[in-house]
Structure 1
Amino acid sequence: MCAGDIEHPVRLQPRAELHPGASLGRFGFLNVGTVVYGEVSIGRYFSCGRGAEIGVAPHPLIGPFLDVLPEILEHNYDAILHLRTEAGLFEDGRLRRELGEVWRTEALSALIGSRERVASILGSFRSNPALSQVGPAPHYLSLTHHPHQNSGHLAASILSDGSSGGYFAGAMFWVRPETLRPLVERDKVDSRSFPQSDRAAGGSGEQLLERLFGQAASLNGGATFGAPVEPSEPLIMDLAPSEGTLQTHLEAALRDRRSAHAARSQRALAW
């Protein structure tokens, strides 16, 4: 079915659907059974796997993960990887994209920076039943120093536990899916449970969700390991949450990156 706008040439496989209000750019490819719902605009050279469903979520950053979590739980995976795009941090209403680049680079390097790092993480989940999550070590922040905006009342009502611990700012991590079951059992939480995220104003819905993920991981003695940004370094088994802010860390990492770049440039000029 094709009721949306198309910039030819495109290729639609059997049972692919482009709903009214959706658009697909030139050289796009919708595989078998793929559904693109209304209000979705896809650019050129797009391709996807079979049976994908693409739509605009009420909470576009983290919420959709909650919607698919019940289905994920049916498969009894040892671990899954949750990644997301991160445009940057807002400062006084201004988007700092350069900080977003550092954020993404560190997270991807820590989580999937090498075959050995991925093997180490998956091996840890299989050998340690208490392990709940593994995330970028520098992004693990203290819930005590960065608490829920509603003083934790919603978290307590959902999780029935007063544990603290930490959370991974940006919500990029490996996690044992069963760890997150309390968030969605009995239809407790999905993407419609939260208002649209106003990221320039702090993204309260997004911040609440990433804290809930961290708090759920600590239930029943669940362990959290840290993955250093450098993939060759071993996982940190006694990870302690940072009392500082993510922005402070990213600003320092950005300065270090620029200093290293300037040093390389000076060496090149000296040659």
Structure 2
Amino acid sequence: MASNFDCLGLGSLDPAGLNTLLQQIVPAAEVIGTADDIVVRRWTDPSGVRLALVLREGQPLELLPSYAGVPGARLRGVRRVNDEMVVADVVDDDGEQTTMLAAAAEQLSLLSPGADPVDGRAAVIALGVDVSVHADEAAFTASDASLLSSDQDDSEPPAHFVENGWSWPPRMGAESFISYGTFDQADGEPYARLNGVVLSAERRTVAATGGEFSVARVRTVGFQADLCLPPELPTPEAGNVVAGTVYLVADLPFVSAPRTVPAKGKRSWWRR
């Protein structure tokens, strides 16, 4: 499984290399919010790679790898549910809910736990930690990647499947989405199973490090996301289907509310 940093062409950085990069970029990183004695800064490489940092007295408390994505999701009821993620409903232009997602957020430290939910358009970034690329919808449907559960591949269909003439084993569609973090909001993590159709894609090089990655604009159920892939995967083409496990990050430009300083979290400030 690839790391979040691998998906952004930063996988070659060890802690010493990362600290060197931070020393170079933090002074020039834009401030996107302050709360109490913390400052949230964001650095964006020309490639689109982003690092969102939470600092206190100039020292990093948290670091979130992200990407400068294009808004593609209309979110309702965005609320912070733990020290790593927010949860929100995804709605269409008519306000009807299409799905639900849990995501890490660049602005997480500006949201108070228990505060009133907020709404707005967000960029959703999917870091493809364990995904595959398929030529088209037919190829995806014929592959094991479309199986709802690999445990059901060789099992006998239940009686009600036979009675109703349903296909077995059950498979997911080429545009389908399951957000695992929504099931255990208190202790969950923002991983999801995302299957989507590629609208466009390209290979990019991180100017600051020379690392490479691919980014694809992907359409799934209810929203569009920018999917970042590690360099060992082929760069997808329009019409391909990408499928698998992703780590979700959201850019919430409509969030500006301050919050009190949280208790020390269980995770390391450097999340690979």
Higher relative contact order (CA 8 A, sep 6+): 2
More helix by percentage: 1
- Identify the TM-score tier after normalising by the shorter chain: under 0.3
Structure 1 length-normalised TM = 0.24
More strand by percentage: 2
Bigger radius of gyration: 1
